[in-house]
Structure 1
Amino acid sequence: MAGSLPDPESPEALAERAEEAYRDGRMEAALTAWEQLYAVHVAAGRRSDAALAAALVALNLLCETGLMAPVRAWETRARQQLESEPTGPAHAILAITRTYERILSGDPEGAAAPAREAVELGTRLGVDPARGLGLVAAARLAIHAGEVDDAIDQLDRLAVALAAGEFDPLTTGNVYCELICVAQWLGRHDLARAWTEVMERWRHGTAYGATHGRCRVHRAELLRMSGPAAAAEAEAVAACDELRPWMRREYGWPLVELGNIRLRRGDLAGAEEAFLEANARAWCAQPGLALLRLAQGEAAEAAEMIRAELSHPTDVPWKERPPFGGLRAVPLLAAQAQVAEHLGDAATAATAAAELAAVHAAYPSDGLRATVRLAEARAALLAGDADRAIGVAREAAALWIDLDAPYDAALARTLTGDAQHRLGNADVARLEWQAARRGFEAFGAELAVQVVDQRLGVAAVRPDAAPAASGGVAELVRDGDHWLVRYDGRAVVLPDLKGIAYLARLLSAPSREHHVLDLAGAGAVAPGLPVLDDEAKASYRRRLAEVEADLAEAEADHDEARVRLAERDRDYLVAELTAAAGLGGRARTTGGTAERARTSVTRSLRYALARLSEVAPDLGAHLDRTVRTGTCCCYEPDPVARLEWKVTG
């Protein structure tokens, strides 16, 4: 006789359902299954098992949502079940959850003891998340205490252990992400690059969950430094696409990175779209949004935005950034100096530079030193000390060059040219500006190129103007399993990418709009999925009830910091539930066939253009300006400087 089917509500089935949902990117479904598992164990009197299920809910809420009130609620449930129970895995998970709850709540002193407990229990009981994340937390706390070199040594040893396969895949991905984040906000871009390369190789094997998308964000961050900008944007767009099912509020992280990249490229409209979407998710878009306002000619508004954020920082619990201390203010202070230079505000520039120098003294690194020197150059130039401005700007440029950061080096070279010009050294100034222009152009920062061109006294020349001005002809030819691009006596080879095939169709019909469904070859058009499905809505309502309870307790205890966090959590959840409802109370949808096709086609086209830019920068820049993506895609030739394309294949 055939065996009976397993009970779908059995502990084994619920645990498997949670794991499967997590792997598939259905975070709310995974949390619901763990909550049901907790209830089943409680009903059966299995206190240790119930505590472990509750601890897993708390840990995943912490890592994926940053909602502190629900984390504390589930932590409390777990501890209640553990009364009089022997020490086990749940204690280890609770220790690491408590560690990060304290870190993200701005309490480093309160995080120290549970961090030590997490490492000890994780090691003794074989609980990888507690051991791995506990070691990272201990290093973070050491950095906060000023023990930077010791912390870096700890993280290096941990990276070696990860590479040796000493941790499970989920822990490995999370810890790699943390290592890279710590290196970046310390200004140790060499370590961030090395660890990102290792994580990139590793993730193609055993990684799952949100690891792939998080790795893409780190690659985008590094490409924002090194260029090319088109490749950075392609990586950021892909990261947004991959992380959308996983993240709610923290989805603002890849969105802000996308906005920062677009800002550097000079795509102000695209940058605004990304920043405002992040802001709508209660995520801090500063200083990117302020620098966007500066680029749009709204310097006073930019200055006010930065002042407001420095005075009242957005308190979003987020483990990918410095949770406390002066490091959190570094990007804001650097931007403040930049805006102050534009406004001629010498006092503010000097104050920002001095505060940056104090942070660098506490956390020394080449990246932070370069940031300090550039701010000092801005302040010196405003103070009328051009000689000092030249010296510190040159040092900043050299440091950025060593860090493979051409855009930042070009900013410093531009400032050096400004100071030389102030001293009447016109020829030397021109050399500096020309070097800056080459750096911006190689990176793909078209708006910055135009700004330097104004200093050089020439008309703003778009990078695509050169090939088109001569009435040239370019060819795109399929040759077996690759494509040939011929122009101006040169030929380059590109792999048979999907984006190149899309590009061929656009180039074959200039000025004609192609719907993404036609380009992608989509068949039946499927409706979109709800912004929040019923399961997610129910989960959010449970979270909201937990937040309200935490808020009431915090108010009774007169804990103002906890009240602010709970109110922010509540506002976020209410906004998400409200946004999920459309006209007449109907559920808003996203991600239907058309939207998925738009995302896929855009990503493929941008990636193809990035690959072309690597081997033919002039053509890549031309197409980057003239290929329009969206629901309808089009190649719109420049009417003044036209380039004719011949497409075969």
Structure 2
Amino acid sequence: MSDTVEVDPCERARTAIAAGSWSEADALLTEVSSQRQLSADELGLQANAAYGAGRFEAAITAFEDAHTAHLAAGDLLGAAAAANDVATYLMMDTGLMTPVRAWTRRAEQLLDGLGETPVHAGIAMVRTYERFLSGDLDAAGEQARLAIDIGTRQGVLAAVAVARIATARLLILDGDVERGLELLDEVAVVATSGQLDPLPAGMVFCELICAMQGLAQYDRAEAWTDAMERWRRGNAFGGLGGRCRVHRAEILRLRGSCVEAEQEALHACEQLRPWMRREFGWPLTELGTIRLRRGDLEGAEEAFLAAHRSGWDPEPGLSLLRLAQGDPAAAQALIVDALERPVSVPSKERPPTGQLRRAPLLDAAVEIAVAVDDVEGAARAAVELMEIADRFHSRALHASARLAEGRVALARGAAREASIACGTAVAVWSEIGAPYETSVARLVLAGAERALGNEDRALLELRAAHATFERIGAAGHASAAADACGTDATPPSGGTAWPVAADRAVFRCDGDTRLVEFAGRAVLVRDLKGLRYLARLLAEPGREFHVLDLVAAERGDAPPSTVFDPGELAPVTDGTGPLLDEQAKAAYRRRLEEIDDDLAEAETNGDTARAALAAADRDFLLAELSRAVGLGGRDRTEGSHAERARTSVTRAVRYGLDRIAQHHPSLADHLAHTVRTGTYCAYDPEPRATIHWIL
């Protein structure tokens, strides 16, 4: 007879949650729910487990079921708390403010007549951010004060901390930067003290960094990104780990570590897909920005367009991409539209409205306007950018504004004025520790010095910019700097060829650069994903590689079943299942009903702003449903992961061959005739002409 005591599965689930084993807890509670009805408290437990395991819609459904169970038991306080939980998680991850309003309203109605409770503090906290993200900053301030007051009396530290972060951001947006930063530092102490649960702690960290990024206070942003990275290990809950990665990618990009930044952004996309909806455009836009900086225009376009499809505004990245692609007219049309008709996507990750939101758009607008000879348009944008920099006391914004002034002055023929402005921009960006921005300013400064007849000074700036661009892997700008140097460019690099032994065949990668030698000609080219696929094929001539093996080898750290293609907006999983499962579709339809009720109420009250936001939420959900459901209500399915990988690998290899053709036509011709792509890929040279590649 065994003395083993059977532990209740729900208790085992609690233990698993405490250990951060979300999937284990989710599986245990799902099994229990298949055998009996979970209690209201157990449903709350299941909601947290499902959220941590990446099953967002299942988590929301469990919170809704907990709300219903509390109501059935006559527990109005518990029902209100569950309703506010629904609102909190919808606010955190969906960007759909109309259902958030519906659930906070429901929670408040349940509390009518009960007196002040801790749930009231939670409701005010959620409403603070619902109003903040909807652009109603005055109402957000009122709700933040309410959350702080009630939270202080009721001992709800999370509500107080999150509301104080919102208050700080509102102060900054109103121009009171010094007081806003002081308040942020005060709340940061609470976040690092261990007094907050993982969700509010993660929110506080994220809001701290977003506020610093919006102000272009990069040193502070970096310090809190490092703190959040340390906190993330063992504490991050749900999508918070992915948000940490996006912030880290932003800082790595600023510091010039573009390869590592791209990897962080890709990992962030993979981690955030189960939780984020419209805000998924945020990590995709960062990925596109990094790729644009590296000169991977195809990859940048893929990421920016994917962000746009998710309902996000990828500007100014998309406009700058069009400029880099040689289409300044399209770039001008896009950036003007972005400034005149800003897309309002509720997001905690960037300023929701106002001047700080416009600053990066204006910076891009100056560069693009100068490229199309719209000097007066560039001048107007430069003046507005400087006004913003003066108001918010940001060194980085001042550096951007001074470079903008330099561009305009040079376009007007005022070379001396341009030299002074650009010299200031170079100095400030260098002090900040932003090598890419410093080198871009050096390019414009070189143009001013050349216009003044100071050729030696111009070459000095161009060579410094060229060396930095090469070091950080900014291929397009390195090429531009080399072209501007003419015969004085640093040899050999950026596609400059030189002779080598005719029998040598080299395809070797060194950091961000690949040395290519073939048929007596050598060249350095920037490494790309497609070139890494080619290197794998060249290593074993005649061998067929399945595309999933190629992708897994290139990724280095992920099995084929988790291939990620940002152009598809989703991790690629085994099989050909529906884009939205039945639970997700049912949740979307419930939210549509909530949105319709909110829209009708807004129209009755003549609240056009609220009606517009509700209509935008409705359009987004309808688009998601139409993407997932075809004619006759039949589910549209995902393509198999093998098919997606085949498309991605083929596209990357072709892009790599196009890049090789620009610098080494004979090798490109050889590979075009010997490399085979498809579900299986291979390098099949003539057997009688064996080539021994040095890799």
Question: What residue in structure 1 maps to residue 301 of structure 2?
Answer: 272
1: CA distance, partners of 2:616 / 2:678: 34
Q: Residue 257 of structure 1 corresponds to which residue in structure 2?
A: 286
> Could you tell me which amino acid in structure 2 is paired with residue 547 of structure 1?
I
Write the letter of the residue equivalent to 2:191: L
Change (3 A) 1:177 1:634: farther
Matches of 1:160 and 1:629, distance apart in 2: 55
1:375 equivalent in structure 2: 404
1:546 equivalent in alignment to 2:575: no
Instruction: Give the aligned residue type for 1:262.
Output: R
Of the three residues 331, 335, 359, the one matched with 2:360 is 331
1:574 aligns with 2:608: no
The aligned counterpart of 2:23 is none
2:359, 2:178 → 1: CA distance? 20
Of 83, 86, 99, the residue aligned with 1:54 is: 83
Q: Contact 1:437 / 1:453 at 8 angstroms: preserved in 2?
A: yes
* 1:13-64 Cα deviation digits (max 9, x unpaired): 2111101111011111111111111111122221111111111111111111
**Contact 2:479/2:494, CA 8 A, preserved across alignment:** no
Alignment partners' CA distance in 1, 2:580 and 2:506: 47
Shift of 1:288: 0.8
Secondary structure of 1:279's match? helix
CA–CA separation in structure 1 for the residues paired with 2:203 and 2:678: 33
- CA drift at 1:411: 0.6
- Whether 1:15 and 2:44 are equivalent positions in the alignment is yes
Question: Relative to 1, partners in 2 of residues 1:449 and 1:217: Cα closer, same or farther, differing over 3 Å?
Answer: same
Name the amino acid aligned to 1:325: G
Rounded to whole Å, the distance in 2 between the matches of 1:635 and 1:319 is 48
| 1:325/1:86 CA distance change after superposition, 3 Å | same
Whole-angstrom distance in 2 between the partners of 1:10 and 1:550: 31
| Alpha-carbon distance change, 466 to 249 in structure 1, aligned in 2, over 3 angstroms | same
Counterpart for residue 202 of structure 2: 173
Q: In structure 1, how many angstroms separate the alpha carbons of the residues matched to 2:683 and 2:345?
A: 41
The CA distance in 2 between the partners of 1:630 and 1:158, in whole Å, is: 54
Greater RCO (CA < 8 Å, at least 6 residues apart):
1
Residue range with higher mean Cα deviation, 501-510 or 528-537: 501-510
Out of 173, 179, 182, the residue aligned to residue 150 of structure 1 is 179
Q: Which amino acid aligns with 2:618?
A: R
The 1:468–1:237 alpha-carbon spacing in structure 2 relative to 1, beyond 3 Å, is farther
Is 1:508 matched with 2:539?
yes
* Counterparts of 1:271 and 1:49, CA distance in 2: 47
Q: Cα offset for 1:461? A: 6.8
1:556 aligned residue = 604
Tell me how far apart the structure 2 counterparts of residues 276 and 263 of structure 1 sit (CA, whole Å): 13
Asked whether the equivalents of residues 345 and 382 of structure 1 are also in contact (C-alpha less than 8 Å), the reply is: no
TM-score normalised by structure 1 residue count: 0.85
1:593 deviates by 5.0
Counterpart of 1:292? 321
Query: Displacement of 1:124 after TM fit?
Result: 3.7
On the 8 A contact 1:513/1:632 being kept in 2, the answer is yes
**Residue 481 of structure 1 corresponds to which residue in structure 2?**
none
Please report how far the alpha carbon of residue 523 of structure 1 lies from its aligned counterpart in structure 2 after TM superposition: 9.5
- Give the equivalent residue in structure 2 for 1:186: 215
Residues 1:360 and 1:629: Cα distance change in structure 2 (over 3 Å) = farther
What is the alpha-carbon distance in structure 1 between the residues aligned to residue 453 and residue 684 of structure 2? Answer: 44
1:462/1:535 CA distance change after superposition, 3 Å: farther
- Give ranges in structure 2 of 5+ residues lacking alignment: 10-31, 518-531, 553-558, 563-572, 651-666, 686-690
Alpha-carbon distance between aligned partners in 1 of 2:535 and 2:337, rounded to the nearest angstrom: 48
Please tell me whether the aligned partners of residues 8 and 14 of structure 1 are also in contact (alpha carbons under 8 angstroms). Answer: no
Q: 1:523 to 1:247 in 2, by over 3 A?
A: closer
**Shift in Å at residue 339 of structure 1?**
0.1
CA offset digits 1:118-142 (Å, max 9, x no partner) = 2233344343431221111010111
Q: How does 1:118-267 map to 2 (within 5 A)?
A: 118-267=147-296
Q: 1:228 to 1:74 in 2, by over 3 A?
A: same
Equivalent AA in structure 2 for residue 131 of structure 1: V
**Stretches of structure 1 lacking an aligned partner (at least 5 in a row):** 478-484, 489-500, 603-621, 638-642
- Shift of residue 465, structure 1, vs aligned partner: 6.2
Q: Of residues 429, 444, 449 in structure 2, which corresponds to 1:420? A: 449
Q: Cα distance 1:137–1:522, how it changes in 2: closer, same or farther (>3 A)? A: closer
Report the 3-state secondary structure (helix = DSSP H, G, I; strand = E; otherwise coil) of the residue aligned with 1:320: coil
Structure 2 equivalent of residue 532 of structure 1: 580
Change (3 A) 1:436 1:469: farther
Alpha-carbon spacing, 1:272–1:80, altered in 2? closer, same or farther (3 Å): same
The one-letter code sitting in structure 2 at the alignment partner of 1:531 is: L
Identity %: 49
Distance 1:347 1:150, change over 3 A: same
AA aligned to 2:549 is D
Q: Secondary structure at the residue paired with 1:25?
A: coil
Once the 2 structures are TM-superposed, how far is the Cα of residue 432 of structure 1 from its aligned partner? 1.1
Equivalent AA in structure 2 for residue 272 of structure 1: E
Native 8 Å contact 2:319 2:331 kept in 1: yes
User: Counterpart of 1:412 in structure 2: which amino acid?
Assistant: A
Q: How many angstroms does 1:566 deviate by?
A: 1.2
Cα distance in 2 for partners of 1:25, 1:393 equals: 48
Contact 2:344–2:352, Cα closer than 8 Å, also in 1: no
Residue in 2 that maps onto 1:517: 548
1:569 counterpart letter in structure 2: D
- Give the partner amino acid of 1:568: A
2-structure distance, mates of 1:17, 1:596: 33
Please tell me whether the aligned partners of residues 409 and 439 of structure 1 are also in contact (alpha carbons under 8 angstroms).
Answer: no
* 2:331 aligned partner: 302
| 1:496-517, Cα deviation, whole Å (9 max, x unpaired) | xxxxx99985452369773243
User: What amino acid is the match of 2:546?
Assistant: H
How many Å separate the matches in 2 of 1:31 and 1:467? Answer: 62
Q: Deviations over 1:245-301 (max 9, x none)?
A: 111111111111111111111111111111111111111011111111111222122
Q: Which amino acid aligns with 2:545?
A: H
Paired residues of 2:507 and 2:535 also in contact (CA < 8 A): no
Superposition TM-score, scaled by structure 2 size: 0.80
Aligned to 1:117: 146
Question: Per-residue displacement from partner, 1:189-238 (whole Å, max 9, x unpaired)?
Answer: 00111111111121112222111111111111112211222221111111
The one-letter amino acid paired with 1:574 is L
The structure-2 alpha-carbon separation of the partners of 1:344 and 1:245, relative to structure 1 and needing over 3 Å to count, comes to same
Distance in 1, Cα, partners of 2:152 & 2:37:
34
Partner residue of 2:121 out of 92, 104, 118: 92
Q: Report the Cα distance in structure 2 between the residues aligned to 1:238 and 1:257, rounded to whole angstroms.
A: 12
What is the aligned partner in structure 2 of residue 348 from structure 1?
377
The aligned runs of 1:388-399 (5 Å cut-off) are 388-399=417-428
Range moving further from structure 2, 105-114 or 521-530: 521-530
User: Residue 495 of structure 1 aligns with which residue?
Assistant: none
- CA distance 1:630–1:143, change in 2 (3 Å): farther
Q: Is the 8 A contact 1:228 1:443 kept in 2?
A: yes
Q: How many residues align?
A: 604
Superposed, which structure 2 residues align to 1:354-503 within 5 Å? 354-458=383-487, 463=494
Question: Which amino acid is 1:536 matched to?
Answer: A
Maintained 8 Å contact 1:259/1:274: yes
Q: 2: distance between equivalents of 1:297 and 1:523? A: 38
- Shift of residue 183, structure 1, vs aligned partner: 0.3
The superposition leaves residues 60-98 of structure 1 with CA deviations (integer Å, 9 ceiling, x where unpaired) of 111111111111111111111010013222111100111
Change (3 A) 1:202 1:39: same
More moved, 119-128 vs 432-441 = 119-128
Whichever residue aligns with residue 548 of structure 2, its letter is L
